Amino acid sequence: MISLILHRVTRVIIHILLIFSIFLLLKGHNEPGGGFIAGLMASVSIVLVYLTYDIETVKRFMPISYPAMIALGLFFATGMGLGGVVLGYPFLTQTFDYFQIPLVGEIELATALIFDIGVFLTVVGATLLIISSIGEGS
Amino acid sequence: MINNLAVYPILIPLVAAIIQLFFAKNTFVQRVLSVVSSALILIAVVFLYIDVRTNGIQVYWMSDWVAPFGITIVADLLACFMLFLSALASLAMSAYAMVDIDANREKYFHFPLFQLLLMGINGAFLTGDIFNLFVMYEVMLMASYVLLAHGSEARQLRGSLHYVMINLFASTFFLFGIGLIYGITGTLNMADIAVAVQNADPDTQGLLTAVSMMLFVVFGVKTALVPLFFWMPDAYPQPPVATAAMFAAIMTKVGVYSITRTFTLMFPGDEFTLTVIKIVAVASMLIGVLGAIAQTNFRRLLAFHSVSQVGFMVLGVGFFSPMGLAGSIYFVMHHSMIKSSLFLCSGIAERLTGNRDIKKMGGIIEKHPFYSALFLIAAFSLAGLPPFSGFFGKLILLFAGAELNEYIFLAAILVGGFLTLFSMVKIWQMAYWGKREPEFNKVKVGSFIWGIIILVGMSMVLAIFVQPVYDMVLEAAEQLLDPSQYINAVLRK
Amino acid sequence: MIGLLAIIIGFLVGTGTYLILKKTAFKVALGLVLYGQAANLLIITMGGVKLGEPPIILREAGISYSDPLVQALILTAIVIGFGVTSYLLVLVYRAYQAHDSDSVDLFEEVDDK
């Protein structure tokens, strides 16, 4: 069954949802949010595309291999942890600093953000892998 | 400069898995990396063991958060032994998997999953935090779920569905237990829990015993103790042999390790818990082996044997004496080598005859005497005939029982050993002796047996150098029975 | 408050047990999900329940805050539960496709070729 309302609405809110997920990702270091919840948000919005259209649309929408996405995510997360080991601190040691960025002003950047991005990619990749493996079977 | 040695057994497989994921198309790189990663872990563990022997228990604070607030990685002698076993088993299994795993499974990430399984196992051995233990269990189980259902053959799905369900159920119980521990003691660090339990007020004693028994149930499900073993004979015959052998070699031992850790460190055994442990152990020992005798499916028979053999190890913990624990550790070492080599043997027999039923095999010894001899050594060792490693494992347990005047348990050990011998002879007679009418499939047995040679060879080393090995495990057992060493190392008192 | 939570946990465990004892694989999966929720609630209760207190010390708020550790614990438990449950559902679905049945014990012994 094709619902015109759902089609139109999905086209609009998919952008809002994805932007909101990135907002959650960046906010997550000191306030509620973070890589996992942002990843879920992003994958839920892609699930919405799947529900409205079909698995082919999702594939055109995100033409990447999901396992590679998981690998990249794990690479970021572990790489951040290993950075500490290379510099002589324990595994997963974090640090942060304040930077002046034009137009935005002073912001805090933490190495935990790299970890969060890794988690984000892993969660999105894993969810999409599960969905596509169910979706293709039917 | 901080000493990172303790965290390498977790990091190496993780990094290997990531690199393997990037080389998704190139299975050759993946295979080589599997072997390299296992070898590197083996080297790291040897250095770690030397470090622990000379400098005492090694403690590592993840991301520099000091215990009891952060997650600690603790390497004591027992953990070193278990890590050594997991590295050794994974080396042998990688060597076997190189030639055994079919192209389809290779394409769908068999090797990265195997490395993640290894990471979870090593993490469970090393962690000093009970919630982290739960997380590592889940990493391990998640990888095992996928490895078990890999390939999606109809018969695989049945076994793995039950496996996932029972393990998910047990994990929930683990969470209940962790929640209660946190409520009572206010901490999750194992050493800190041990201190809190020692100083617990007598009113909460009953609740603490209940929680410790809850954890025993959880670990009992994971190790497949009677009466929680029903998933195991269904699950282990399903996956590729290399995976099943890894499960049998190490995954059940993770449960034994956790039981040892729980009842020596956190809840040092009182009369009641030890009695329960011993009764469950003897029941597993006898019921498992009786189940094995009734089977004719090669791998299902071996899976029932695992139930029985785990009973011996847990009985050693139940004795709660230096000798009993030493016997338990020795038995774990012996069993992880022997049982996995038996599983690999069953894989070759399946390939040769195209059959899983030992009644339909037969006459393998005529064509492949060397491989049959390897099986015979492993089988006799499992049954506990001298001069193989199983004999010494049982002997230490017998001495430990005699020392404590627990004669009923001694009788159980002897009966269990005898029945094991019976079922092993049954396999030997049906599958290896006799005549076979149709021809065998063409299999290059020579390329398969390297893993078995490594494992059986190591078990022979265990048997020949039994005195030095016994001294080493006795040292580990004494360290376990003196939890203050562990507590002081972690909490830096 | 703790009493109410205890009742809810008991209700979840009871319902979960009922579902787990069913023969349909999908219902068993649902029962396991309920069990997971009960465990999470139990952990949160163990941290001491405080209404309306964030687990983060904000500058403008007072010094009162609820135990952040239990929240971290159940977040981890939820993540793991999410992964395992979604995998279990895929497995149930695949088993349903392979055997044309959703029962946990209808699959006959097929491993002895």
Examine residue C8 and state whether it is found in any structural domain, yes or no: yes
- As a whole number of angstroms, the distance between CA C74 and CA C72 comes to 6
| pLDDT at res. B86 | 92
Average pLDDT over residues B202-217: 90
Examine residue C108 and state whether it is found in any structural domain, yes or no: no
Whether pLDDT at B328 is above 90: yes
- As a whole number of angstroms, the distance between CA C90 and CA B2 comes to 44
Please state the domain extents for chain A.
4-137
B134: pLDDT confidence band, cut at 50, 70 and 90?
very high
Highest mean pLDDT among B271-275, B344-348, B359-363, C11-15: C11-15
Phi, psi torsion values for A110, nearest 5 degrees: -120, 150
The total of structural domains in chain C comes to 1
pLDDT in tens, chain C (113 residues): 788 999 999 999 999 999 999 888 899 999 999 999 999 999 988 887 777 666 666 666 566 677 788 888 888 898 888 888 888 888 888 888 877 777 776 555 544 44
User: What DSSP line would sit under B236-265, residue for residue?
Assistant: TTSS-HHHHHHIIIIIHHHHHHHHHHIIII
- Under 8 Å between Cβ of B436 and B362: yes
| pLDDT at res. B439 | 73
With an 8 Å Cβ cutoff, is A44 touching chain C?
no
* % of chain B exceeding 70 in pLDDT: 98
- Using one digit for the tens of pLDDT, what is the confidence trace for B26-54? 888 888 899 999 999 999 999 999 999 88
| pLDDT at res. C112 | 44
- As a whole number of angstroms, the distance between CA A14 and CA A49 comes to 8
| pLDDT at res. C111 | 47
Average pLDDT over residues B153-168: 82
- Using one digit for the tens of pLDDT, what is the confidence trace for B90-128? 998 888 888 877 777 777 788 888 999 999 999 999 998
Residues β-bridged to residue B60: B73
Closest by CA position to B141, among listed B175, B110, B176, B166: B166
CA distance C14 to chain B (A): 14
CA distance B41 to chain A (A): 17
pTM of the model: 0.91
| pLDDT at res. B118 | 93
Tokens of B194: 């041990």
Tokens of C111: 């491993």
**Residues of chain B positioned with their CB less than 8 A from the CB of C95:** 157-158, 161
Chain C interface, best mutation among B175, B188, B346, by max C CB count within 10 A? B175
Nearest beta carbon to residue A91 from set B18, B63, B109: B63
| pLDDT at res. B226 | 83
Closest residue of chain C to B151, computed from CA coordinates: C94
Single-letter code of the amino acid located at C52: G
Residue B79, exposed/middle/buried by CB under 10 A (0-12, 13-18, 19+)? Answer: buried
Question: What is the number of H-type helices and E-type strands within chain A?
Answer: 5, 2
With an 8 Å Cβ cutoff, is A136 touching chain C?
no
| pLDDT at res. C15 | 95
| pLDDT at res. B327 | 93
| pLDDT at res. B1 | 43
- Under 8 Å between Cβ of B63 and B57: no
Mean pLDDT estimate for chain B:
88
**Chains with at least 3 CB pairs less than 8 angstroms from chain C:** A, B
CA distance B265 to chain A (A): 26
Q: Do A31 and C83 touch (CB under 8 A)?
A: no
Nearest beta carbon to residue C79 from set A36, A130, A137: A36
**Among A51-60, B89-98, B323-332, C30-39, where is mean pLDDT lowest?**
A51-60
- Under 8 Å between Cβ of B388 and B335: no
CA distance B1 to chain A (A): 5
Residues β-bridged to residue B68: none
- Using one digit for the tens of pLDDT, what is the confidence trace for B451-482? 889 899 999 999 999 999 999 999 999 999 98
| pLDDT at res. B311 | 92
| Element of type H or E holding B74 | strand B72-75
Whose tokens are 């399946």? That residue is: B350
**Chains with at least 3 CB pairs less than 8 angstroms from chain B:** A, C
Closest residue of chain C to B297, computed from CA coordinates: C112
Closest by CA position to B246, among listed B391, B95, B466, B381: B95
* % of chain B exceeding 90 in pLDDT: 42
